[in-house]
Amino acid sequence: MSSALDLVSSDTRRELLQIIKRRGSLSVDEAMDALGMARTTVREHLLQLKEKGLLDRTVERKGRGRPSHRYEMTRRAKVLFPSRDGELMGRLVHFLKEQGAEDLVQTFFESYWNDRTEAVKQKLEEVASGDIDEKVETLRQILEEEGFMPHISREEGEVTIRECNCPFPESVKETRIPCRLEEEFYKEIFGGKLERVAHIPEGNSSCSYEITEPAA
């Protein structure tokens, strides 16, 4: 049976990710020892993984010597490895509903989306500087990191957002609260008129939103 890790085209890069998953982080020298490859080859594989958003690089300083770089997996890379968190979350939501705690389910999701909205708004204020194109690109990067596989386009005062993946499929099977909150999230971010024109739970290939930018 294949895994999501098979989507990484290079056998060497898949092996590097597996080694980093086990160890937590890896230096170039440690990668050379583990793979038995030359420094330039190992460095190229690590940089390719970094460019794909699968690795972060940090600086490690020891004593007076030259600092070394260590590579760690990003959240995007961790999704490539098996996880049952989604299934567990879906069963938890189902259990709470059966116990008559639907209000608690709603409160939880509202709290999560409120924190998410505030964090994204702060990020946009720090990076986008009021420019709508910078705002759209920054939002695209955030959604990519969150696992939505977004495609965003903008023309003639309208922003179209296509989320080609739902990161919360098991939860959405039990409740549509995340779907409602996602609409409110975009209204809060953009402040304009919004219409959801496609919805994955209804059989569409994406959750898509058309947002009319508010007048300046």
Q: Report the pLDDT value the prediction gives residue 96, as an integer from 0 to 100.
A: 96
Percent of the chain residues past pLDDT 90, beyond the cut:
57
Q: Order of strands, edge to edge, in the sheet holding 150-155?
A: 150-155, 158-163, 207-212, 193-198
Instruction: Note the pLDDT of residue 68.
Output: 79
Q: What is the mean pLDDT of residues 12-27?
A: 89
Single residue among 14, 46, 78 that ends a domain in this structure: 78
* β partners of residue 114: none
pTM: 0.70
The average confidence (pLDDT) of the chain is 88
| Lookup: tokens for 22 | 């086990």
Q: 54, 78, 102 — which closes off a domain?
A: 78
Residue 131 pLDDT > 90, yes or no?
no
What is the rounded average pLDDT of the residues 36-56? 91
Q: What is the pLDDT of residue 2?
A: 40
CATH number of the domain residue 36 falls in: 1.10.10.10
Residue 138 shares a structural domain with residue 56: no
| pLDDT of 154 strictly over 60 | yes
For the cut 80, the answer to whether the pLDDT of residue 128 exceeds it is: no
Indicate if the pLDDT at residue 33 is higher than 80. yes
Examine the domain organization and report whether 19 and 126 are in the same domain.
no
4-19: pLDDT as tens digits: 455 567 888 889 898 9
Q: Taking residues 67-87, what's their average pLDDT?
A: 82
The Cα–Cα gap between 204 and 79 comes to 23
The CATH code of the domain that includes 192 is: 3.30.1380
Which residues, 6+ apart, have CB-to-CB distance to 189 below 8 Å? 117, 120, 121, 124, 139
Nearest one of 90, 95, 83 to 170, comparing CA atoms:
90
Stretch (H or E) spanning 193: strand 193-198
Q: Which domain holds residue 27?
A: 4-78
pLDDT at position 4, please?
47
Q: What distance lies between CA 211 and its chain's CA centroid?
A: 22
Query: What's the mean pLDDT in 61-74?
Result: 79
CA distance 130 to 67: 38
Domain end residue (candidates: 29, 53, 78): 78
37 burial class (0-12, 13-18, 19+ CB within 10 angstroms)?
A: middle
214: its two tokens: 């508010």
Our count of domains for the chain comes to 2
CA dihedral 55, 61, 65, 68 (to 10 degrees): 0
CB atoms within 10 A of CB 153: 10
172 pLDDT tier (thresholds 50, 70, 90): very high
Q: How confident is the model at residue 144 (pLDDT cuts 50, 70, 90)?
A: confident
